[in-house]
Amino acid sequence: MLQTSTAAAVPQHIAVIMDGNRRWASQRGLPKAIGHASGAKRVRSLVEACSARGVRWLTLFAFSTENWKRPADEVSSLMGLFLIYLQKEASDMHKKGVRLKVMGDRSAFEPRLQKLMDNVEAMTAHNTQITLTIAANYGGRWDMLQAMQAWHASNPGAPASALTEDALRPHLSLAGAPDPDLLIRTGGESRISNFMLWQSAYTELYFTPTLWPDFSPESLDQALAWYVQRDRRFGGAEATPKPLISQLAVG
């Protein structure tokens, strides 16, 4: 486990693109559905590991607006898995102080799933240990577009020049949460695939070949050790202070 003498070493907010479920299953001669199910089981250990290390926000990319293009049987399997996951895990997460949120366009989901999302969010709304946000039917371009539409609806007749970053931010899907400090993508690809385009402007991007079902707490510690060494300038000339490498021990 990663040990550190300063909280500055721990990102407040980690985002994860959980990639590699299908390849993991293919390498083992298993159906894609088994790969997705194995990936879903990995979520619990990541939430627990992040919580134990002091991470306050964790956002997972579960299903993108582009994923509807996949074969119908795979999409159906993913929807069923999402339903089962919320039903089985919500109560345990609630007991552990996890606040669970879902961001994305819910209108495409069946009413039963939409209602379950609402119920789980309401049940865990006052938990403070860690906020887990599941991005489902989400896309960064969709997020910015819906935010602009929401701003316009709240400001009818206002000129476009009145729209500022500060005015738009409350309408984005992650309003109220800090932007991600660290974005992890598993599976070996080196792109963010339309995930939180606005919020990731100054996020540190960590790409690992590890397939999502194999991403362990030790894998998280490797990402955190990499993150600690980054100089986060945010467009300025001076890097933000960072802990000395000697302050860290991975064991």
Query: What tokens were used for 219?
Result: 């894998």
Whether 105 is in a domain gets the answer: yes
pTM of the model: 0.88
Binding residues for substrate: 20-24, 32, 36, 64-66, 68, 70, 185, 191-193
Residue 19 has what DSSP assignment?
-
Q: What is the pLDDT of residue 236?
A: 60
- Half-sphere exposure (CA, 13 Å, Cβ side) for 220? 26
Query: What tokens were used for 159?
Result: 């000129």
Whether 134 is in a domain gets the answer: yes
Whether 93 is in a domain gets the answer: yes
Tell me the C-alpha distance between 134 and 131, whole Å.
Answer: 10
Q: Which residues are catalytic?
A: 19, 67
Number of separate domains in the chain: 1
Label the pairing between strands 2-3 and 249-250.
antiparallel
Q: What is the pLDDT of residue 4?
A: 43
Q: pLDDT tens digits, the chain, 251 residues: what are they? A: 554 434 457 999 999 999 999 999 999 999 998 999 999 999 999 999 999 999 999 999 998 888 888 888 888 878 888 888 888 888 999 999 999 999 999 998 999 999 999 999 999 999 999 999 999 999 999 999 999 999 999 999 999 999 999 999 999 999 999 999 999 999 999 999 999 999 999 999 999 999 999 999 999 999 999 999 987 766 665 655 544 433 443 33
Whether 239 is in a domain gets the answer: no
Q: What is the pLDDT of residue 6?
A: 41
Size of the chain in residues: 251
Q: What is the pLDDT of residue 77?
A: 79
Whether 237 is in a domain gets the answer: no
Residue 14 sits in a domain whose CATH number is 3.40.1180.10
CA dihedral sign, ordered 72, 34, 187, 8: positive
Whether 96 is in a domain gets the answer: yes
Q: What is the pLDDT of residue 248?
A: 41
Query: What tokens were used for 81?
Result: 């898995």
Helix then strand then coil, % of the chain, to nearest 5 = 50, 15, 35
Whether 112 is in a domain gets the answer: yes
Whether 222 is in a domain gets the answer: yes
Q: What is the pLDDT of residue 7?
A: 46
* Burial classification of residue 213, based on how many CB atoms lie within 10 Å of its CB (0-12 exposed, 13-18 middle, 19 or more buried): buried
Query: What tokens were used for 178?
Result: 């800090």
Q: State the residue range of the domain holding 212.
A: 2-155+164-230+244-250
Query: What tokens were used for 6?
Result: 């300063």
